[in-house]
Structure 1
Amino acid sequence: MPDVIAPGLKVLFCGINPSVYSAVVRHHFARPGNRFWPALYASGFTERLLTPYEQEELLARGCGITNVVERASVSADTLTAAEYAEGGRQLEAKVRRYQPRYLAVLGIGAWRTAFQKPRAVLGPQPEPLGGARVWVLPNPSGLNAHYRPEDLARLFRAFRLAAESDG
């Protein structure tokens, strides 16, 4: 699954790993029911609701997309600790190479596992990764029933406002 990435982005959104559906259609967060694109719109990252097929339009807005683990799966709970650890190393190298201002990790469990941060909570993280400030947001998958669309919009909006006020 190719990243949507360029040097010097404001925000690099980082999913856990692609769904099988997303891998087949080769677009991020493409599985029906995924709430990433609606959360971007509702939070003000985009001025209209984009579809996964318009993912490249994020680059013009200073945003990109990658994943912690490259392997597609039906559910993130099939990923191993070793896959997360290796994905974390690769993600840090990618962040050093492309130098986004912020890395927005979409999934607290992925952040905790990939970077051995068992006590991490949502929101800004105390330490940067590869030179980027890190902000952890909930996983927008439709399988994540802990957060309603309005919760995702509120949390994504808080991140957007913090990132904008930061320069």
Structure 2
Amino acid sequence: MNQVPDIIASNLKILFIGFNPGNRSAETGHHFAGYSNKFWKLLAAAGFTPYQFTPEEDGKLLNLGLGITNIVARPSRTAAEISKEEYQAGRVILREKLLRYKPQVACFAGVGVYREFSGQSRVSCGRQAVGVVAGVSDFVVPSPSGLTRIVFAEQLAYYQELKRLVGANVF
């Protein structure tokens, strides 16, 4: 399966971080491409994008100060297929990306993603008290995966909170 290239640049407002690309993303070469994934819908509904982008438009995010990467680059059907060793290596690589590109906010798309990166066992959605990488604020939103049982309105509330905080330069 093909790896999906990062959508990343220096000094982004927000770098969204997922577990790893799913099979559909690997097939298309674009992030959050699963048919039931709500990422693009959530971004539009929260006002991050002027309309609902398709996964094929993921490169347009850079023009908005947004980017996407993953803690593990290898695509898989589910995050459950990611090994401990892959997470361990991914933590190092992600930390290096955050140090190099210095986004204002690292937004983890799923509590589990943040658990794997931070090493914390108790994580909740929202702004985290302390960022893992100095100079980068951490924020956690519910996973946009179609497998997530959190209703859309509750997911959207976190994306709206993130939008308000970034817009108000609170980070």
Q: TM-score, normalised by structure 1?
A: 0.95
Indicate conservation of the 8 Å contact 1:81/1:114, yes or no.
no
**Which amino acid in the other structure matches residue 29 of structure 1?**
F
* Paired letter, 2:56: Y
Counterpart position of 1:166: 169
Equivalent residue for 1:88, pick from 87, 91, 94: 91
2:136 corresponds in structure 1 to 132
Please give the per-residue CA displacement for 1:31-79, whole angstroms capped at 9, x wherever unaligned: 1110000000111111211000111111111000000111111011111
Please give the alpha-carbon distance, in whole angstroms, between the structure 2 residues aligned to 1:134 and 1:69.
18
Q: CA RMSD in A?
A: 1.2
Moved more, 58-67 or 148-157: 148-157
| Whole-Å separation in 1 of the counterparts to 2:87 and 2:118 | 8
Match of 1:73 in 2: 76
Q: CA deviation at 1:81?
A: 2.4
CA contact (8 A) 1:85 1:115 kept: no
Q: Deviations over 1:99-143 (max 9, x none)?
A: 110000011112112321101211111222333100011110101
Which residue pairs with 1:103 in the alignment? 106
Match of 1:22 in 2: 25
Kindly tell me the number of residue pairs found equivalent between the two proteins: 166
Contact 1:84 1:110 in 2 (8 A): no
> 1 CA distance for matches of 2:49 and 2:64?
8
SS at match of 2:167: helix
Structure 1 consecutive aligned stretches of length 4 or more whose deviation exceeds 2 Å: none
Read off the aligned partner of 1:109 and give its amino acid letter.
G
**Alpha-carbon shift at residue 28 of structure 1 (Å):** 0.1
Aligned AA for 1:71? R
Deviation at 1:151, TM superposition (A): 1.6
Distance 2:12 2:166 in 1: 12
| Paired residue secondary structure (2:11) | coil
Distance 2:83 2:113 in 1: 11
TM-score (norm: length of structure 2): 0.93
Structure 1: stretches of 5+ with no match in the other structure: none
Q: State the identity as a percent.
A: 36
SS in structure 1 at match of 2:107: strand
User: Does the CA contact (< 8 Å) of 2:111 and 2:124 recur in 1?
Assistant: yes
Partner residue in 2 for 1:34: 37
Q: Is the 2:125–2:141 contact (alpha carbons within 8 Å) kept by the matching residues of 1? A: yes
Whether 1:12 and 2:22 are equivalent positions in the alignment is no
